[in-house]
A and B are shown apart, each in its own frame.
Chain A
Amino acid sequence: KAGVTQTPRYLIKTRGQQVTLSCSPISGHRSVSWYQQTPGQGLQFLFEYFSETQRNKGNFPGRFSGRQFSNSRSEMNVSTLELGDSALYLCASGPAVSSTNEKLFFGSGTQLSVL
C-alpha cells in the first residue's frame, strides 16, 4: 500500500498570501488529521476529518481551515499568512474502523516558509 502523500513537499509564500496544502491518505482510510510542527510549540493538532465531516478541532484561529472530499483526500487552507505560520504541516490518516483510530500513519509533511 502506498503511504500518506502530502503535496507540495516545500512551499514559500509571503505574508498576506493564502496557501492550500493537500493530503492523500492511505487507500481505504477514512480519517485525516492535520498537525502543525514548529520548533517552539512542537506538534499541535489542527483538525480531524472523518467521512467529509470535521470531527475534532484544535485551538487555531479561523484562518486555518480544512475539508475532506468523498475520496477521503483532504486539503487544508491558511489565509492571510503570518510569519508565525512557518512550520511543518503534517497529515495523518487512520482506518477509523468503527470510528476509532488506534494507529495513525503520518506523511512526511509540507514545509511552509512565510517570508
Chain B
Amino acid sequence: DAKTTQPPSMDCAEGRAANLPCNHSTISGNEYVYWYRQIHSQGPQYIIHGLKNNETNEMASLIITEDRKSSTLILPHATLRDTAVYYCIVRVSGNTPLVFGKGTRLSVIA
C-alpha cells in the first residue's frame, strides 16, 4: 500500500504557483520522497526527489518539513501543460519498486 496521502484534486490558475501537498507521517529515516506525474495517455514522468533537504531543479521545487512527515511540490509558474496526476512516493532506495497511490489530479486553468 502507498505510504502517502494526497488530496484527490486541485485547481491552479495558469501562471500562478501550484503547491501540491503530501503527507508521509510514517516515513522512515532512510526513505526518500519522490514525485512523478502522469499526463493523460502517457507514462509517468520523474519530477524530483529528496531526503531531507529542500531540492530544486528545472521542473519544480521540493520542500520537506523538518520532521519529514510532509512535503510540498511547487511548480513555480504553472502552465496548461502541467495538467496531470501528480504522485508522491516514499521509497527506501533506487533498488525498491515505486509504489504509486492515487495521486493528486492537478488542473491548470486558463
Q: Which residues of A contact B (CB under 8 A)?
A: 4, 33, 35, 42-45, 48, 55-56, 58, 90-92, 94, 96, 99-109
Contacts and interface: CB of A to CB of B under 8 A. Distances in A.
B97 A100 contact: no
The 8 A-B residue pairs whose C-beta atoms are closest, nearest first, are A106-B43, A100-B94, A43-B100, A101-B94, A45-B97, A103-B46, A90-B43, A106-B44
Contact of B43 (A42, A44, A48, A107): A107
Interface string B72-98: 000000000000000100000111111
Nearest to B32: A102
Nearest to A101: B94
Contact of A42 (B94, B96, B97, B101): B101
Chain B interface size, as a band, is 10 to 19
B17 to A, nearest CB: 24
A27 to B, nearest CB: 18
B47 to A, nearest CB: 10
B61 to A, nearest CB: 17
Among B42, B95, B96, max chain A CB count under 10 A is at: B95
B94 A45 contact: no
B97 A56 contact: yes
B95 A100 contact: yes
Interface SS of B by simple majority: loop
Interface in B8-35: none
Given A58-B97, A100-B95, A92 B102 contact: no
Contact of B42 (A33, A100, A103, A108): A108
Nearest to A94: B94
A104 B93 contact: no
B95 A108 contact: no
Given A102-B49, A104-B98, 18 more contacts: A33-B97, A43-B44, A43-B87, A44-B100, A45-B98, A56-B95, A56-B96, A58-B97, A90-B43, A92-B44, A94-B94, A100-B93, A100-B94, A103-B46, A104-B44, A106-B44, A106-B45, A107-B43
